[in-house]
Structure 1
């Protein structure tokens, strides 16, 4: 019996945009709610959310009950972090802060077993192999791992052509928030200068034959990216939905009381 099929990786090769949601509440209960909402993929954020390997694993378990596919972002492009996340059962990884082809190649090695890579062989103890109940896991796991790299700096954009030439990279994601900061537009990813760089990068990725991805809570921008041909686009976050929704509910009710006859 082989490793489980990676539905997200298979869908990247289709003709339908994959719509995602960022999960930063670091809670399996809310992850389960979001997983049933109809998104194609859900990003469990280990970089900016208060997650550890146990909370990531619990969210993977919760998401598995829904139709959306899990993607996990580690804190940093570190092999040991990726090893733990893969053993916890993640099959799709979005690695942040990639700025060179050398880094990209190192991440490819991190998600593959030897001799092609350097992922530690510990699947007999791991959720990834159904606790050693998948007899062919070691022989088949590499093919089902989806490696996405996040480019979000001027250095990353300068190296983008070389990053795209690295064999084993399944898609490249542009991070507009950090890119805006690096371009001197911190907190303003919608600025025309930032968007010029974002759109050029997305075109470069797509012209190289790779799936391009991005996150924006600005739905007009998200629609623009989809129309351009971006394959996996996140349109918001659980934190944003909760913070915005609770505030609007309170404000709207207070206004209705004040305006009541």
Structure 2
């Protein structure tokens, strides 16, 4: 019996667009509710969400067997942390703040077993092997790992071609909000120069045969990014969806006008 099939990775390779949602509440119950909405993937956010390893593990368990593939974003791309998340059963990772080809190569090695990488051989203790019930896991695990690298700075854009060319990198994800801030457009991810940089990054990523990803809270931006060629994209978060629904319910009952101070952005 081989490692579980990574259907998200297979979809990207087949050119099938994958629609996603951020889950940042740090709740397995909330993740399970989100999975019922039918998104292709859900991102468990360990960078900005209040998540630690046990909480991420609980959410991976809640999503097990659902139609929504779990992607884990750790707070940083440290090999020791990726080792734990791999053994918990995570197969797809979004690593934030990647700026150099050296980082990209180190991350590829971190998620693979020797001799191709440095992942420790201990998954028999975790969910990855169905608690030592998958006899061929060690031989097949590497093929089902999907590594997505987040470019969100001018330095990352400058190194994008080198990063995207690294074997074992499956996709490049552009972080519009951080990129906008680094370019001098804090809070303005839809500014013209930022959009131009994203479009150029998508074109360069596609030239290397890698998947292009992005996230936004604004549906007009989402359609624009899709037209640019986004292969996987998140269009919201559990946090903002919950707050908007609660705020809207109260306003509807009281007959208040909708708030006009909310802006769409990326994460």
- TM-score when scaled to structure 1? 0.96
Unpaired stretches in structure 2, ≥5 consecutive residues:
257-267
Separation in 2, partners of 1:175, 1:80: 24
Provide the residue aligned with 2:154 in structure 1: 154
Unpaired stretches in structure 1, ≥5 consecutive residues:
257-261
SS class of match (1:185): coil
Q: Deviations over 1:1-58 (max 9, x none)?
A: 1111111111111233100000100101110010010100000000000001111111
Separation in 2, partners of 1:123, 1:103: 24
2:7 corresponds to 1:22:
no
Q: Deviations over 1:205-237 (max 9, x none)?
A: 112211100001111111111122211010010
Provide the residue aligned with 1:215 in structure 2: 215
Question: How many aligned positions are there?
Answer: 256
Does the Cα contact within 8 Å between 1:153 and 1:179 map onto a contact in 2? yes
Provide the residue aligned with 2:188 in structure 1: 188
- Post-superposition offset of 1:253: 1.1
User: Structure 1 segments of 4 or more deviating over 2 A?
Assistant: none
Provide the residue aligned with 1:169 in structure 2: 169
SS class of match (1:115): coil
Separation in 2, partners of 1:194, 1:246: 32
Separation in 1, partners of 2:198, 2:35: 28
Separation in 2, partners of 1:16, 1:171: 14
2:41 corresponds to 1:44:
no
Q: Deviations over 1:122-174 (max 9, x none)?
A: 11111101111111111110011111110100000000011011111011100
Provide the residue aligned with 1:236 in structure 2: 236
Separation in 1, partners of 2:92, 2:235: 19
Provide the residue aligned with 1:76 in structure 2: 76
SS class of match (2:105): helix
Separation in 2, partners of 1:95, 1:119: 16
Provide the residue aligned with 1:122 in structure 2: 122
Separation in 2, partners of 1:127, 1:15: 29
SS class of match (1:94): strand
Does the Cα contact within 8 Å between 1:17 and 1:226 map onto a contact in 2? no
SS class of match (2:162): helix
Q: Deviations over 1:42-91 (max 9, x none)?
A: 00000000001111111111112421111000110111111111111010
Separation in 1, partners of 2:65, 2:147: 23
SS class of match (1:212): strand
SS class of match (1:55): helix
- TM-score when scaled to structure 2? 0.94
